[in-house]
Chains A and B, each alone.
Chain A
Amino acid sequence: MLLQVREVSKIFPGMKALDRVDFTLRQGEIHTIMGENGAGKSTLIKIITGVYRRDGGQILLEGRPIDPRTPPEAQRLGISAVHQEVNLVPYLSVAENIFLGRQPIRFGRIDWRKICQMATDELGRLDVAIDVTQPLGSYSIAIQQLAAIARALLVRSKVLILDEPTSSLSEQEVEKLFTIMRKLASEGIGIIFITHFLDQAYAVADRFTVLRNGRFVGEYETSSMPRFELVAKMIGKDAAEVAEIDTKRRAKPAQGEQKTILHTSGLARKGLKPLDIEIRTGEVLGFAGLLGSGRSEIARMLFGIDLAEGGVVEIDGKPVRLDSPRKAINNGLGFCPEDRRTSGIIPDLSVRENIVLALQASRGWLRRIPRKKQQDLVEKYIRTMNIATPDAEKRVAVLSGGSQQKVILARWLASAPRLLILDEPTRGVDVGARAEIEKLMASLCAEGMAILFISSELEEVVRDSHRVAVIKDGAKIGELTGAQLELSAIMRMIAARKEDHEGA
């Protein structure tokens, strides 16, 4: 046993981030920690690397209890981490970055010749041959990632943690990284590999540990764990429960006239495969997929936040170029973003101002909505949507998460879009507000609005959608509707090997 985590807990104000979690890493193995958002993966990593202090439990490294208080202390013990975003200095040379803070010194001066030689050697170990005197920023993300790994290995690590290192790498680059990981593992290093990608986990890991809601679900060997079951573990359902949800579900046909609003063909950008989708009036189209599958990225591209690099979007049959949110709004789209705090609410403005914002923006600054009309509008939404606020002039920042979410929904309803994109509208929202939001979606649809509904809760997607597009690794791998639309069917598609749904 190289590293043992025993019953470690971590409490943050108001929540238990980790609840007596176990984790075991053996020498020379690649071990993947899997789990949905908020499962506790990054908290566990931060405790192991000394970023957070644990509130209970024990950590053993090679059988001896350790208690790292800071990342450098963890490094001295032999635990190094490489994070998703490269935390290096792009303007410094590759060699400087690798040795930053631990430069070999000769006669009181930094020994540059030695640094460059050692940096070249370290990178050589990872099969990278580059000019280490060039600025790090001049190389690709993949090379920067490898430089970060070289830096981590410099301290003769026993445990190497790779926190989603593949999210911005191409397929060949990922393959190369895997080769390097296997090589390092064969040298006896234990590697903890965090990823959202099932295929990658199956391709490289020896074992999985699954976490869910801060609890340890189980440790499994890759070779003996069916993919479907792993997906079930991650979303916290066992096979029997999935079957039960499937039987309870009533197939829900969309009502009224079905007219295509938005149609894309081959719409693509970096990280996303060419996308063909169709969204119709009076219909909820669900996007189902695990975190990091590209659901939100597709939504951002449709709303003109991230620009498409190829393909066509048609609205009402006419090709349009959605290159800004304003363009998208003018074409009848609305978007409730995933992160309501950073990109949804305007915290210091009042509930009223937050609600009228999109409608006012579409009218332009010169044609102000009269105060009386604003008040009527806002009162109406506070009443019908049950927004918990003492009055319309309260700062929106002081409301609960659920009420803030309803305010943003009201903002879009007031501007009456024809297609509303809801990215995780129920995340961080209490049960009551969640039910109300789900009910609201149904009634909006009945009135003829088209809704694109994104949620990591697959059960919710199944429950609220008329049609579901399954998203995986930046691609739509299939669509389910009518009787086929079952939780187990979605899970089977997500769990399927890449080869099985190529070309779907």
Chain B
Amino acid sequence: MRKTNPHPALVRLIYPIAALVLLLIFNGLMTPGFFHLNVTEGRLYGHLIDIPNQAAPIMLVSIGMTLVIATGGVDLSVGAVIAIAGSVTALLIVNTNSGIFEILFLVLVLCAAAGMWNGMLVAVFNIQPIISTLILMVAGRGIAQLMTRGQIITFHSAAFAFIGNGYFLGLPFTIAIAIAALIVTSSLTRMTAMGLFIESVGNNITASRYAGINVTVIKILVYTISGLWAGMAGVIIATDIMAADANNAGLYYELDAILAVVIGGTALTGGRFSLAGSIVGALIIQTLTTTIRAQNVPVEFALVVKALAALAVFLLQSEEFRKVILRRKM
């Protein structure tokens, strides 16, 4: 006899999904036509499309951040890497005749290398992740500003415009990119033993080392992946507005990504991770932003409202809190 319990990974997803659904229902009640979808020239339009479209960069960053956090680390440099990716993309488009694939390849390799640098500081030199990545967080944006001389660099390229604004199978292309990143990363971690090693290292690093896991390699890998996806997010952000803004692109994305990962059920202390959970977390954050905007919450209240909503999600996830509430009701 085998008990058919639901998979534990699915159980952990229930609360973030419930939070997302509640948030959407709230919007549906408050904003007439929130769930309405238009089809124009074979393309879907509507709030339900805008949310994942706008959430795509956060989703990408959250995917990498999930792996880093699962090893017990954190990557504060993702916002700066976004700025670097946008600036380098813009400069290459403006100053060279390279094709889109060459440029994309260069930018992504550069950003992966930036992530690898973080990984080396953490894994080889044993510097605390928060400090290691803080260095690139500060320096990276500075480098991007130096490259663009503090100016916003605009560019024109039909091919690149497709990345930020194109449509694919009736949906914004950015959504396809985020889904592809999720599939690639899930396969990379779950079809190999990388996911097992990441969770093992994050849960008990000493025992992992004694079992023969190459902890250094695993840590460098996760920071490299984080850099790579932050770079892709940077390309999306730049090609969305066809301009690179080194001062503001990706600002505070590290915080949104950390929030998305934690909402998605991956503990900041490391161990078990859920990429799908982080995607849901990113959607919750974007839905919140959309809600705040749709409800005409004064700009100065926006961040406070966002924080309160995030707090509500965490309380919903907290077993202790649920216990307290249930006891009250009994």
Contact = CB atoms under 8 A, between A and B. Distances in A.
Interface string B1-41: 01100001000000000000000000000000000000000
Q: How large is the interface on A (under 10, 10 to 19, 20 to 34, 35 or more residues)?
A: 20 to 34
Looking at A326, A360, A365, A393, which has the most chain B CB atoms within 10 Å of its CB?
A365
B192 A365 contact: yes
Interface string B179-203: 0000000000001111011011001
Interface in A326-374: 326, 329, 335, 337, 342-349, 353, 356-358, 360-369
B281 to A, nearest CB: 20
B209 interface: yes
Contact of A369 (B3, B193, B203, B206): B193
A356 B212 CA distance: 12
Contacts of A353: 196, 199-200
B207 interface: yes
Given A348-B271, A349-B203, A335 B210 contact: yes
Contacts of B219: none
Contact of A365 (B194, B206, B207, B210): B194
B141 interface: no
B214 A348 contact: no
B165 to A, nearest CB: 37
A173 interface: no
A358 B199 contact: no
A347 B204 contact: yes
Looking at B2, B193, B197, which has the most chain A CB atoms within 10 Å of its CB?
B193
Interface string B201-243: 0011011111111100110000000000000000000000000
Contacts of A415: 212
A315 interface: no
A325 B204 contact: no
Given A343-B206, A345-B204, A358 B212 contact: yes
Nearest to A368: B193
Given A353-B200, A361-B211, A368-B192, A342 B206 contact: yes
Contacts of B211: 325, 357-358, 361, 411
A391 interface: yes
A303 B8 CA distance: 35
Contacts of B8: 393
A358 B200 CA distance: 11
Contacts of B208: 346, 357
A480 B3 CA distance: 52
B203 A305 contact: no
B184 to A, nearest CB: 15
A362 B203 contact: no
Interface in A302-322: 303, 305
B199 A349 contact: yes
A132 B199 CA distance: 47
B192 A357 contact: no
B200 A346 contact: yes
Given A353-B200, A365-B192, A345 B207 contact: yes
A365 B193 contact: yes
Nearest to A303: B210
Tell me the dominant secondary structure on chain A's binding face: loop
A366 B212 contact: no
B207 A344 contact: yes
Contacts of A342: 204, 206-207
Interface in B135-170: none
A353 B198 CA distance: 12
A299 to B, nearest CB: 11
B212 A361 contact: yes
Contacts of A393: 8
B212 A326 contact: yes
B2 A391 contact: yes
B71 to A, nearest CB: 13
Contacts of B200: 346, 349, 353, 357
Nearest to A345: B207
A305 B196 CA distance: 22
A362 B211 CA distance: 9
Nearest to B272: A348
Nearest to B201: A346
Contact of A362 (B191, B192, B206, B212): B212
Nearest to B196: A353
Interface string A161-173: 0000000000000
Given A346-B203, A348-B203, A349-B203, A326 B214 contact: yes
Given A326-B212, A357-B211, A361-B212, A366 B192 contact: yes
Contacts of B199: 346, 348-349, 353
B189 to A, nearest CB: 9
Contacts of A347: 203-204
Contacts of A358: 211-212
Contact of A346 (B193, B204, B212, B217): B204
A356 B196 CA distance: 10
A335 B271 CA distance: 23
Contacts of A344: 207, 210
Nearest to B215: A326
Contacts of B196: 349, 353, 356-357, 360, 368
Q: What are the 5 tightest A-B residue pairs by CB atom distance, in nearest-first order?
A: A361-B212, A329-B212, A343-B206, A368-B193, A365-B193
Interface of A: 303, 305, 325-326, 329, 335, 337, 342-349, 353, 356-358, 360-369, 390-391, 393, 411, 415
Given A337-B210, A357-B211, 16 more contacts: A305-B210, A325-B209, A342-B204, A342-B206, A346-B200, A346-B207, A348-B199, A349-B203, A353-B200, A357-B200, A360-B193, A364-B214, A365-B192, A365-B194, A367-B193, A369-B193
